[in-house]
Amino acid sequence: MEEGRNMTHEMYIESIRGTVTLRLNDDESRHRLNRAKLVYGSGRPGVRGICFYEAWNNSESLELIEICAFGEESPLQLAGTTIHELAHCLAGHAAGHGQAWKSAARKLGLKLAMAAGQAYAAADFDPVLLRHIRNLSEPTDGRPVSSRHPPVVIGPRPCSQGHGTRGGKSRGPGSGSRLKLFICGCTPPVRIRVARDDGDFHALCLECGQDFRRQNAKP
C-alpha cells in the first residue's frame, strides 16, 4: 500500500484529487481543482456527493465539494464520487451532466461517468488510476451508520435588536431569516437555504440531476 495505516476519509479523497489533477495539462484547470474546498461531510442518506458552484471564497470564487458519508458504499465508490464531483468543477455549472461533464470525467480518469446511481466497477476507471486507487490503504477511521436519533440543528439566535428588525422574531418589515430558499426537482424536493444577498447560487442535485432553483418568498 502506498499510504500508511492511519488513513482517514479526508486523506483518502485528497489523495484521489491529488492523483487525478496531475492528469491535466492545463495549469489553470489544475489550479481550480486543487483550490476547490473538498470536504468529507455527513450529507444525507441517498446522496453521494454535491458540488456547490462558486460557494467558497479564498481570494477567488471557488467550488465547495462535499463527499457524503451517508452515501458511502465502498472505497471505490468514494473514489468515483470524488472524481464525479471534480469533473463538475472542471466542466462548469452550465455543463450539467452533459457531454462536457463526461469529457471532463474522462480527462480525470473516469472512463464511464453516469449522472446518478452508478455502480462503480474497475472497468469504469483508467487502468493507471485504478492501480493507484487499489494501492491506497482503505480509510481506517470508522464507517457511517444510521443514527437512531434526529440530528440537533443549531440555528442563529434571534436578533438582539428586538421585534421588527432584521433577524427579529416579529413579522414586521425585515424580520425573519435572510437565508434564500432553493429547491431541486426531486419529489419531494430537497430544500436548502443559502446566505447570498444577490440571490445567485449554483448547485446540482445528484438525485434528480437538476439545478437547485430559487423559490420566491411568500407574501
What is the CATH number for 58? 3.30.2010
Does residue 83 sit in the same domain as residue 191?
no
Query: Residue 209 domain-assigned?
Result: yes
Query: How many domains are there within the chain?
Result: 2
Does residue 113 sit in the same domain as residue 190?
no
Does residue 93 sit in the same domain as residue 195?
no
Does residue 127 sit in the same domain as residue 165?
no
Does residue 106 sit in the same domain as residue 174?
no
Query: Residue 4 domain-assigned?
Result: no
Query: Residue 218 domain-assigned?
Result: yes
Does residue 18 sit in the same domain as residue 99?
yes
Q: What is the pTM of this model?
A: 0.70
Give me the phi and psi of 82, to 5 degrees please. -60, -45
Query: Residue 144 domain-assigned?
Result: no
Which domain does 204 fall in, by range?
A: 160-219
The whole-angstrom separation of Cα 167 and Cα 159 is 5
Other CB atoms within 10 A of residue 82 CB = 25
Does residue 128 sit in the same domain as residue 53?
yes
Does residue 28 sit in the same domain as residue 86?
yes
Does residue 55 sit in the same domain as residue 88?
yes
Per-residue pLDDT of the chain (219 residues; tens, 9 = 90+): 444 468 999 999 999 999 999 999 999 999 999 999 999 999 877 889 999 999 999 888 999 999 999 999 999 999 999 999 999 999 998 999 999 999 999 999 999 999 988 999 999 999 999 999 999 999 999 988 877 677 666 655 544 444 443 433 333 444 344 577 878 877 778 877 776 555 567 777 777 777 888 876 443
